[in-house]
Structure 1
């Protein structure tokens, strides 16, 4: 996945994940959560399930972002 595509998927995933988790963040934080979630979730999901394609990366990005939000809410405060 190219860097530009990673950022675009990360923005969408971060937005979706923050809304699903009920987290009210500013735009840069949402993007950072999404990009980090895209990295974590995309690589883990692809590695574990051996699934290729853009949709697997997006699903992994959303799941990774949700995981990061949960960890931040649970242990970060």
Structure 2
């Protein structure tokens, strides 16, 4: 099922991309552009989300550590 969905989404994406860039291509080329574009875009987006996920985790860890350090300073080490 995912392959059929990729072809359908790729065909739609290829159609939109070729129309936006004013390219005159046949149906097979349009679908190929869309499918390969979806693969490349999907991989790039997953890579960026992975990096962003790591960075978000790091920022969350720093903020959590700062909160615990503030609590320690304010309430415990008197």
TM score, norm. by length of structure 1? 0.59
- Mark the runs of 5 or more structure 1 residues left unpaired by the alignment: 51-77
CA-atom RMSD, angstroms? Answer: 2.0
> Could you list the runs of 4 or more consecutive aligned residues of structure 1 that deviate by over 4 angstroms after TM superposition?
none
> Counting helix residues as a fraction of each chain, which structure ranks higher?
2
Deviations 1:31-62 (A, max 9, x none): 01000001101111122135xxxxxxxxxxxx
- Mark the runs of 5 or more structure 2 residues left unpaired by the alignment: 51-78
Question: Number of residues paired by the alignment?
Answer: 51
TM score, norm. by length of structure 2? 0.58
Q: Distance in 1 between matches of 2:4 and 2:16?
A: 18
RCO (CA 8 Å, sep 6+): is it higher in 1 or 2? 1
Aligned to 1:59: none
